[in-house]
Each structure stands twice: as structure tokens, then as C-alpha cells.
Structure 1
Amino acid sequence: MSYYLGVDAGGSKTYTLIADEHGNIVGAGRSGNGNHQTGAERAERHIRESVEGALGQAGLTREEIAFAYFGLAGADREADFRILRPMIARLGFARHAIACDTMIALRAGTDRRCGVVLICGTGTNSAGVNLQGDFYQCGGFSYLHGDFGGGASLSEEAFRTVIRAWDGREGPTLLTRLVLDDLGYDSVEAMFNDYLDHHRSPPARLAKLLFQAAGRDDEAAKDILRRQGIELGKAAQAVIERLGMAEESFEVVLAGSILTRGEGDFVLRYIREAVQAAAPGASLVRLEDEPVVGALWLAAESNGATLTRQFRERLRAHSGTSFN
């Protein structure tokens, strides 16, 4: 029996799954932030904890894993891989591969040979692969280096909008009451002073309040989500153009909590418009599986396995309950 191990190490959590050659999940592990760019030692510890948890649950040793595939947030440049190669090698898997987490999300979301993936979770990223196998990544390097949005940034946008409405630079917004209730303050002034005096940062969960306010027709919230959608649409267009995919038929996989759990059409409509303008044959699909499923598929394929429909269906059926 062959066993495959897949890892999705993101900015807020790390997932590991182990499957047998028939697509049955036999082990699962979970830990915290696995992005080395926010702390290499912590990331390595969390990745190891997640892997050890899955191996322990499966009752397997490293030697029994035919191939391990690691989808890692922050695996963007050669400078990153110089850190990640020895980090992952220390985990002790004889046969393994490393890729950016964009690739496992894309693989989990489409069965086609080519496609584009937009990720908007804690941060944002985008990438694509064309029919010739060429890869291009656009973004994923922070606001200073061209990005906008993601849960962390959107929470800051919500927070600062409340401040600006309070001090008179913007009009009233429903976000004020939502943010105060969420953070437990009686007034904006109390919140303002506490955050300023103690150098606090707003929690990423505030991003969901934008969707709640937008659903009640709050213009400030809708404007922030509009910008997020436009920026993601621009990223998709850049990938499509760079890879020469304008005439191809493919899927744009939407991954990350902002795109898969965000309510309404406040972000998606702008992505849809941009994609249709750049590649009329493309369509949007929300990623329904955890991206770690893509890492498992890539592990099996890297070992020379042909993924049967049965393998895919079993993997999808079992993976959804593995972390509950």
C-alpha cells in the first residue's frame, strides 16, 4: 500500500492530510501559522506539529510515506526556497516537493491542465499555469510591493473607517456599531485611545463585518469590498495576459476565506467582470475543498500515480470532516 502526505501551511493555520492509494484519509494534523516570512522557527515548529499529528493518527512512519508534498505560504522566491529547502528536509521525508500554496489551491479547485487561482485569506496572492505548463505568480508580497487586501488588511480598513467617521473625515457608517460590539468598547474614543496607547492591531476577524455592513447597504463597507474585488480582478488579468491565456478555456479558482465565505457578491462581481474582459472563455469557481487536498493530489502525481475518479471522490468525501 502506498501512502501520500500533503501539507498546506498558511498564514493562520497548517493542515496535513495522509491518504492511501485509494484516496482514503488515514491521518490528519493541524497546527498554527506555517509562513516562514513571519517567523521561520515558529513556522517550522507548526509544520512539524501538524505532520507529526497526521503520522500519529495514521500510525505510520516517515519511511512509509511514498511522497510528501508541501504547499507553503511565502514560497515565492529563491530567497524563500533557500530557507524552506533545509527546513522541509529536516522533517525527514526521503521523497518530497515544495511549492507555493497557490499551486495546491489551484490543483484542488480544477481538473483542467491550466487555470488561474486567486487567494484572499489572511493576505492575497494570485498565480496561473497555461497549457504549455508555464507558471506565473502575481503578488503575494505585501502592500508596499503592490498588493491590497486580504483579511488582515481588510480588518484594518474597517477599523480605520470607524476612526475616520468618528473624527469627521468620513460620514457615519454601520461599521461603527459592529466594530465596537465585536471589540467590546462603549465608544470609539475609548477604542481609539486603548489601541493607540497599547500599540494594538485589529484582529483579522473584523473583515467579516464588512460583509455584514455591506449587506445592509453601508456605502463605506461596499467601497472597501469593491476595491478588494477590483484589485483581485487586476491580478487575474495580469496572470492571464502574462501567460497568453486570453483565448483559452479555463477556470479561475477562488480560494481563501474572503472569497469562499464572504457573503453576497460585493467582491466577486468585480473579479467576474475583469476575468470576462480578459478571457471570455474563463469561468469562476469557488474552491470547495481544503487546499491541502491539492497537495495530496500533487503528492500522488509526483509519485507517478494516475488519479482515478474513485481516488478523487473518496478524497473529497473524507477530507471535509478530517479537521472537525
Structure 2
Amino acid sequence: MTREQTAHPASALYLGVDAGNSKTAALVSTASGEVVGAGRSGCGDIYGAPTPEVAVSEVLAAVRAALAQAGAEFRTVRSVAFRLAGVDWPEDQGYWDTALTRHCPGVLTRRSILNDGYAAIRCGDARGVGISVTGGTSGAIAARGPGGELWDMGWWGQYGMGATGLANEAFRAVFLAELGLGRPTALTEALLAHYGKPTVAALNHWLTRREARASGRERTSCARVVAAVAAAGDPAAVEIVRAQGRHLAQYAGVAARRTGLAQAGGPVSVVLSGSVLMAEGSPVAEALFAELPEHIPAAVLHRGSLPPVAGALLDALAEGGVALADPVVADAVLEKVTGSLPPREFLAT
């Protein structure tokens, strides 16, 4: 038996959880990185779910599903990394810690709880150093510096980002154009067609009325439409996507400075994830690429290599003692994780 096998017995499992507003995903692996179980459920954001307890239930549902597929129990998990949207303040972390202790007494005790923005960092650098920029339902930016310093955007974000930001800015442009307070835009016709509404007034009514108004998912469903109209050259839509790319780059620069990455010298890993940034030909991603060198000159971009939940799993492995700082170990683990992930559609938003 090798020293590695002694330190990480074959029966030990590792669990990574990535919870957002559109979905929660969980992966279970062996110490080698082989994924042996996957689970998926709904919104795991304590700010975005109907109640915080609903978010807890969704996260645990994904965990139970992943363990069930692995044919395992909670007690076999050596280390777990929870990367959860809505962990923005110390009391949010405390809420989850209390809830997990209550629901899972005596198990999952070796755990870390961080904002979901941290999930993807190891998808760029297995050591866990770098910046993650996520554009999904909303935006998330997080960084870990060379000395372990942490910073995430949380409620410091003062601009609409992700699909929510694209949708809200598009509605604003359409409503202002309707009132003669903004320039005419092709977004008007595109959004009316997308939502099947006859007039701008009908669209506004549906989005804001007291009863039976549009759900959050329905509101953000137009994000791809906004991107398409921007790609076609509509000035209002182009400005919306450029502004979002600019803001994401600015906050990534803040993350680099706050964690010492900007001062350390050498390349800075920047991992992109989320449906808005990962869409083929994404104009938001193009805008981010154009702006990023001004804020992080040494940025090295990683896009689409692994899903964020795989990064959370890598965190769990590292926190459980797997030596991902060793390039040889890291390469072997990454190969195993990559080759054993569930089908892409399982993790799609």
C-alpha cells in the first residue's frame, strides 16, 4: 500500500457542492478524483429561495442524490466543500453551519462554506490561486491570493450583472424608448416577440403587476435575446453588454488587488463560468476580454475547461489532504475528474 493510499483510504469520499439560483449540483469522488456520484436540485441561495430553509433542503437533496448514486452514506465523506450563492456575510456562513449541524448531526463535519464564486477557481489553477468571474443568473467574482487571502464581490456589486443585469437593462431601454426618453431600439420588437406580448405597455404590466406577474426565471429568459440583438449591432443592446463586460473586468481588478494577486507578479489565472459568459459567441465575454488587460495585465484566461462544481470538488479534495499543490498529483486528479464527469446536459442551466 502506498503512502497516498494510506493517507486517503479507498473508502473515503469527497464531496463538492455548487449552489446557485438556477440549480444546485453536487459531485462525489474518490481520492483519485474519479467521480462516482452526481446530484442536482433547485435553488440553493438563501437570498433567492422562497425561504432559507427551502435552500437548505435543495442543497441537501443534491447531496443525497449524489451519495445515493455513489452507493454511499454521509459518514463516508472525508471532506466537503460547500460553494453556495448567498454566502455573502459572516452570518450567512453561520446560518449554513447551524443548519448543516442540525440536519446532518455528526457527519459532514469536515467542511468549508464559501460563496459560490469561489467554486471555479481551481478549474483554472489546481492550487486554488486566482480569480473566478461568473456570469450566470447573476454575477459573482471571487479570488484567492498566493497567501490564502480571500475576497468576493458579494453585495459590493453595484451594477446588474449576469442574465438578471442583461434583462433589467434591456427592459429599461425598451421602456424609455417607448416614452420617448431613450433612443429607439431593436430590443423592443425582439422582447415583444420573445414574450408574446402585443405592446410595450402589456409587457410592462406583465412584469410588474401585483398578481400573476412574471417569475424571476421568465424575466431572465430574455438574456440570450439581448445578446443576439447586441451581436446584430443594435446600439442600445451593444452598450448594455459592453457595460456589463466593463464592470466585470473592474471588479476582477479589485479582486486581484485585494488578494495580493496584482502585486505578486507573474500570471494571474482568471476562470470564466456561467451561462452568460460561456454562451457561444457571447458579446459579454468579448467585452470582458477587451477590458480585462487594463485591470489585470497579467491575466491568463480559462474558459469552459471544467464546470464550477468540479472546482468545488477539487476544493474538497485539497481540504481533505489530497496534495493538489503537487503538479504530478494535480494532473492525475484533474484527468480523473475530467474523464468521469456526468454528461454536459446534466450540469447545464
TM-score normalised by L of structure 1: 0.91
SS of match in other structure, 1:66: strand
Q: Distance in 2 between matches of 1:86 and 1:318?
A: 33
Q: Which of 118, 122, 125 is matched with 1:107 structurally?
A: 122
Q: Which of 308, 315, 320 is matched with 2:337 structurally?
A: 315
* Pair 1:280-2:297 in alignment: yes
Unaligned runs of at least 5 residues, structure 2: 1-9
Match of residue 180 from structure 2: 168
Amino acid at match of 1:97: S
Q: 1:258 Cα deviation (Å)?
A: 1.3
SS of match in other structure, 1:8: strand
Q: Cα 1:274–1:178, aligned 2, differ >3 Å: closer, same or farther? A: closer
Amino acid at match of 1:295: A
SS of match in other structure, 1:28: strand
User: For each residue in 1:194-243, what CA deviation from the matched residue of structure 2 results, as whole angstroms up to 9, or x when unmatched?
Assistant: 33434634521111111110111111110100110111111011122223
Q: 1:287 Cα deviation (Å)?
A: 3.7
Q: 1:182 Cα deviation (Å)?
A: 1.5
SS of match in other structure, 2:14: strand
Q: Which of 260, 264, 279 is matched with 2:278 structurally?
A: 260
- 1:180-259 equivalences under 5 Å are 180-198=192-210, 200-201=213-214, 203-246=219-262, 247-259=265-277
Q: Which of 76, 97, 102 is matched with 1:64 structurally?
A: 76
TM-score normalised by L of structure 2: 0.85
Amino acid at match of 2:257: E
Match of residue 30 from structure 1: 40
Match of residue 4 from structure 1: 14
Q: 1:157 Cα deviation (Å)?
A: 1.6
SS of match in other structure, 1:312: helix
Aligned Cα root-mean-square deviation (Å) = 2.1
Q: 1:259 Cα deviation (Å)?
A: 1.2
Q: Cα 1:223–1:262, aligned 2, differ >3 Å: closer, same or farther? A: farther
Q: 1:71 Cα deviation (Å)?
A: 0.8
Match of residue 111 from structure 2: 96
Q: Distance in 2 between matches of 1:37 and 1:127?
A: 18
Amino acid at match of 1:245: L
User: For each residue in 1:30-72, what CA deviation from the matched residue of structure 2 results, as whole angstroms up to 9, or x when unmatched?
Assistant: 1111011233111011011111111111111111122221111
SS of match in other structure, 1:310: helix
* Mean Cα deviation higher: 188-197 or 209-218: 188-197
- 1:116-155 equivalences under 5 Å are 116-137=131-152, 139-141=153-155, 146-155=158-167
User: For each residue in 1:238-282, what CA deviation from the matched residue of structure 2 results, as whole angstroms up to 9, or x when unmatched?
Assistant: 122223333331211112211112634x32344334432233222
User: For each residue in 1:121-148, what CA deviation from the matched residue of structure 2 results, as whole angstroms up to 9, or x when unmatched?
Assistant: 11112222222222222x2217xx6243
Q: 1:291 Cα deviation (Å)?
A: 0.8
Amino acid at match of 2:252: A
Q: Distance in 2 between matches of 1:12 and 1:256?
A: 11
Q: Cα 1:168–1:315, aligned 2, differ >3 Å: closer, same or farther? A: same
Q: Distance in 2 between matches of 1:136 and 1:196?
A: 35
Q: Distance in 2 between matches of 1:278 and 1:196?
A: 38
Q: Distance in 2 between matches of 1:107 and 1:217?
A: 36
Unaligned runs of at least 5 residues, structure 1: none
Q: 1:116 Cα deviation (Å)?
A: 1.4
Q: Distance in 1 between matches of 2:205 and 2:75?
A: 55
* Mean Cα deviation higher: 8-17 or 242-251: 242-251
How many residue pairs get matched?
320
Alpha carbons 2:249, 2:295 under 8 Å: kept: no
Amino acid at match of 1:304: G
Q: 1:113 Cα deviation (Å)?
A: 5.1
* Pair 1:19-2:12 in alignment: no
In percent, how many aligned pairs have the same letter? 31
Q: Distance in 2 between matches of 1:161 and 1:130?
A: 39
User: For each residue in 1:9-30, what CA deviation from the matched residue of structure 2 results, as whole angstroms up to 9, or x when unmatched?
Assistant: 1122100111122322211111
Give the 4+ runs in structure 1 shifted more than 6 A. none
User: For each residue in 1:272-299, what CA deviation from the matched residue of structure 2 results, as whole angstroms up to 9, or x when unmatched?
Assistant: 3443223322222214321111111111
SS of match in other structure, 1:263: coil
Q: Distance in 2 between matches of 1:68 and 1:160?
A: 42
